[in-house]
């Protein structure tokens, strides 16, 4: 059977969250989606609140992943321990709240979802995501594995892709909020894209008011970042996975305005 897996890029601000809630149901029906993973770590700009995670799950997300802003909102800490469908990067300290991997039902298949964080340009004191993946793939049983790699450097994401090709069904990058045009199926059957993009304001700098980012690069004091105004976009990708072979057969980029 072919399972269509929808991965959605970083949700930014309340307007990005509202756009997700409005568009997700229709998108899932049109693309015949079986399972949905949403990166939600920027729904409150720096972090995400429990009620926002709940909104994403009610809207149709099966799993919500995080990243370098996992601990931006202390209100989320208890939910990180209690909600199986909320994942923070697996390669950060086990002393931190939450968990980084889960195995979920996908309409007859068992799917493992892993959230990782990169180490290039992200000072997070994280363990090697490569070594952590080796361990996680030995634990538990699943029909196929999906990975959200929240990382800055495309080189680190690509290196991970070659490392995991043939061992996971799909690997996508998040964090940079800009979609890449390198979606492909790797030689051993893994679906890949370096970055999904974001779900948030179209006329913005990574979701934030442009004048604030400009002020930062001019050396000024931009103040607390605010989500930009105006219409939003929902960006991500659909990975079509053959559950019998564990291979991805197609990757399609998504951009819903």
Q: What residues act catalytically?
A: 69
Q: Which helix (H) or strand (E) holds 143?
A: none
SS3 call for 160: helix
Rounded Cα distance between 126 and 249, Å, is 32
Q: How far is CA 230 from the centre of its chain?
A: 23
The DSSP bridge pattern shows strands 170-174 and 144-150 to be: parallel
Place of tokens 């429990």: 50
Rounded Cα distance between 118 and 142, Å, is 24
- C-alpha dihedral sign at 149, 73, 102, 10: negative
């Amino acid at each position: 059977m072919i399972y269509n897996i929808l991965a959605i890029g970083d949700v930014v601000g309340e307007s990005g969250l509202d756009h997700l809630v409005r568009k997700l149901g229709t998108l899932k029906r049109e693309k015949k989606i079986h399972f949905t993973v949403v990166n939600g770590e920027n729904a409150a700009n720096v972090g995400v609140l429990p009620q926002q995670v709940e909104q994403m799950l009610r809207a149709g997300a099966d799993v919500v992943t995080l990243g370098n802003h996992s601990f931006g909102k202390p209100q989320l800490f208890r939910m990180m321990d209690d909600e199986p469908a909320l994942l923070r990067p697996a390669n950060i300290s086990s002393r931190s709240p939450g968990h980084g991997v889960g195995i979920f039902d996908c309409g007859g298949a068992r799917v493992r979802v892993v959230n990782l964080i990169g180490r290039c340009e992200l000072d997070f004191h994280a363990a090697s995501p490569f070594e952590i993946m080796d361990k996680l793939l030995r634990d538990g049983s699943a029909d196929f594995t999906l990975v959200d790699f929240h990382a800055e450097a495309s080189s680190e994401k690509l290196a991970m892709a070659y490392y995991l090709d043939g061992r996971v069904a799909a690997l996508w990058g998040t964090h940079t909020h800009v979609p890449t045009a390198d979606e492909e199926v790797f030689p051993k059957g893994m679906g890949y894209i370096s970055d999904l993009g974001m779900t948030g304001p179209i006329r913005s700098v990574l979701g934030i008011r442009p004048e604030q980012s400009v002020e930062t690069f001019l050396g000024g004091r931009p103040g607390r970042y605010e989500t930009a105004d105006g219409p939003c976009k929902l960006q991500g990708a659909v990975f079509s996975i053959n559950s019998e072979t564990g291979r991805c057969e197609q990757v399609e980029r998504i951009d819903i305005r």
